[in-house]
Amino acid sequence: MSPPQTMPQWLSVALSSEKHLNTVLRVLTNRESKRDSARTASQLKALDDKSQPNEMRSPLAFLFRRSKDALPQLVDHYAVTAGAHEAHHHFNRYVDIIPYDRTRVGVHEGSLGQGTERDGIWEGRYLNASWVLERFGRKWWIATQAPLKHTAHAFLSAILQSVMRPPVEGPPSQLDTSSPISRVRTVVQLTRNMEGGRKKADAYFPTEVGRSVVVSPEPGHDGPPLKVTLLETKTIRASHCIESTVSIIPIHRTDHKGENDDEVVVFRHMLYTSWPDHGIPEPEDRESLLSFIRLVDNTNRIISSSSRGKSTPLNNTAGELDSDPPIMVGCSAGVGRTGTFIAISSLLRSYSFLPPAARPTPASVIHASPLGPLPEELEEDEIAQEIDSLREQRPSMVQRKEQIFLIYELLADAFSENN
């Protein structure tokens, strides 16, 4: 299907009305503030469950009582208990960005699924990452923080392991049960490792082609070390992209010779180089961002990689290969640039500027928001709807107002470019 020639009326209205955009900012901010209060209350509730009332420090007890009284119906829905657990504190790059329990990615031995709780113990390894579904484009993503040195093994294990169905609800008629089991084969990074003299991401593969590094598991996990090798790298100037082809293979012996070629997994790492932290790409870089979005989508649909003259299946999986598996995307915290990238991709897909998802999932399978729908004046604004839906699935998605405006502008640019 070809993209429409004319811009939808709701987008024209939004771009021409400062009042409308101010309403979008106000409503989205108020709703996220309620979620934030509920997240805080869920953490304090977990503390209270472990302590007698007189054992809690009075400021925490007061905040808990206030949050509980104000938002009792929201606390469970927006709970972040797993990520806030004391055993997982050092796995979070930022203390205020913690995935929701109901959408967090759980890294299990042999498969990648939803985090679950049993007898108060969280099963699977913790990873600061969330399952996220495009509201209008209907494609699944994994939104994640940039790995830390001590979370790199869990991060790579998420790529190494097969992907199970994300957490959904709804009648069976709405769900595609024919999806092949696959693995992540495209990783998008929207931040440089160093920005403004500060570390925003830790490297987890070599910078020299042919070199390998061994990534060991974090203390307390007995999985095998992972040998990570850079197979190929290239620069795609039009998309401001550095594309790297990387292999992962478990090492089952301490002499590093216990490698089985049947276990090798190859993925593509795509770094966009022109998006500053706490900001947006410069106007002259907008065209490159649209090009990068298209490049990412196209690359994810390629199921083999030619490196050093040898064709290697990406995510070497027995059986049918998924033609369009979930893409893993992150920046530093995995919310601002990450949420903006997913939102733009969703709207571009919805208006046929990107190909449709191979196995589209209706947005109705996502848990309904206890905050209710957006107000009537925003019910036709698909960007406001998309952002609010993303924030229901991972905290603080599309974090800054400049990023919200960027989505409107880029979608308008796509229509202008099409004409």
Taking the alpha carbons at both ends of the chain, their separation in whole angstroms is 16
Residue 229 has pLDDT above 60, yes or no: yes
Whether the predicted pLDDT of 28 surpasses 60: yes
For residue 214, is it within any domain?
yes
* 274-297: average pLDDT: 95
Identify the domain containing residue 275 by its residue range. Answer: 9-28+131-418
For residue 12, which amino acid is it?
S
In a domain, 53, yes or no: no
pLDDT tens digit sequence for 185-197? 999 999 999 998 9
In a domain, 330, yes or no: yes
CA atoms 377, 363, 395, 288: torsion sign:
negative
Residues of the chain with pLDDT > 70, as a percent, come to 80
Lowest mean pLDDT, pick from 17-26, 88-97, 273-282, 306-315: 306-315
Q: What's the confidence (pLDDT) of residue 221?
A: 86
Report which DSSP code applies to 203: -
pLDDT tens-digit map of 101-113: 999 998 876 555 5
**pLDDT on residue 114:** 54
What pTM does this model have?
0.90
- From CA 387, how far away is CA 134, in angstroms rounded? 10
Predicted pLDDT of residue 309: 43
pLDDT-derived band at 120 (thresholds 50, 70, 90) equals: very low
Overall domain count for the chain: 1
What average pLDDT does the structure give for the chain?
87
Query: Beta-carbon neighbour count of residue 188 at 10 Å?
Result: 28
Q: Which two tokens stand for residue 215?
A: 């990534």
> Averaged over 295-315, what is the pLDDT?
73
- Distance from C-alpha of 149 to C-alpha of 380, rounded to nearest angstrom: 43
Cα–Cα distance for residue pair 121/42, rounded to 1 Å:
16
Residues 6+ apart with CB under 8 A from 58: none
Q: Is there a domain that residue 271 lies in?
A: yes
Q: Which residue, among 188, 196, 181, has the nearest Cα to 242 in the 3D structure?
A: 188
CA quadruple 369, 375, 381, 384: dihedral, nearest 10: -50
Is the pLDDT score of 53 beyond 50? no
Q: What average pLDDT does this structure show over 141-149?
A: 98
Predicted local distance difference test score (pLDDT) of residue 5: 82
pLDDT number for residue 81: 93
User: Is there a contact between 80 and 39 (Cβ–Cβ < 8 Å)?
Assistant: yes
Report CA dihedral (275, 280, 285, 290) to the nearest 10 degrees: 90
Range 14-38 average pLDDT: 97
Average pLDDT over residues 69-83: 84
The residue with greater pLDDT, 345 or 253, is 345
* pLDDT tier for residue 72 given thresholds of 50, 70 and 90: confident
Percent of the chain at pLDDT > 90 equals: 68
* Position 114 in a domain: no
- E strand segments, 82-169: 104-108, 111-114, 117-118, 121-122, 125-133, 140-144, 162-163
Q: What pLDDT band is residue 402 in, cutting at 50, 70 and 90? A: very high
Count CA atoms within 13 Å of residue 336 on its CB side.
19
**Bigger pLDDT: 220 or 169?**
220
- The pLDDT assigned to 217 comes to 94
In one letter, which amino acid is 264?
V
- Determine the pLDDT at residue 41: 92
347 within 8 A of 386, measured Cβ to Cβ: yes
Q: Is the pLDDT of residue 146 over 50?
A: yes
118 pLDDT exceeds 70?
no
| pLDDT band, very low/low/confident/very high, at 278 (cuts 50, 70, 90) | confident
- Tell me which amino acid residue 228 is: V
Q: Cβ contacts of residue 355 below 8 Å, gap of 6+?
A: 297, 301, 349
From the number of C-beta atoms within 10 Å of its C-beta (0-12, 13-18, 19+), residue 151 rates as buried
Least confident of 1-5, 39-43, 223-227, 316-320: 316-320
Residue matched to tokens 């299907």: 1
Q: Is the pLDDT of residue 171 over 80?
A: no
Q: Is 218 helix (H, G, I), strand (E, B) or coil?
A: coil
Residue 50 lies in a domain: no
The per-residue pLDDT for 119 is 35
- Going from the C-alpha of 55 to that of each of 22, 39, 66, 215, the distances in angstroms are 44, 22, 18, 41
Q: With bands split at pLDDT 50, 70 and 90, how would you rate the model's confidence at 54?
A: very low
The answer for residues whose C-beta is within 8 angstroms of residue 31's C-beta and 6 or more apart is 371, 388, 391
pLDDT at residue 49 above 50?
Answer: yes
Looking at residue 125, what is its pLDDT?
A: 87
The answer to whether position 356 is within a domain reads yes
Q: What is the pLDDT of residue 26?
A: 99
* Contact (Cβ atoms closer than 8 angstroms) between residue 204 and residue 212: no
Considering only residues 216 and 261, tell me which one the structure prediction assigns the higher pLDDT.
Answer: 216
CATH number at residue 23: 3.90.190.10
Mean pLDDT over 325-333 rounds to 97
In this predicted structure, the answer to whether residue 335 has a pLDDT above a threshold of 80 is yes
More confident residue, 417 or 193: 193
Asked if residues 239 and 293 have their Cβ atoms less than 8 Å apart, the reply is no
Q: Which of 17-21, 249-253, 307-311 has the lowest mean pLDDT?
A: 307-311
For 310, list phi and psi in degrees, rounded to 5. -120, 130
* 102 located within any domain: no
- Which tokens is 192 given? 């440089």
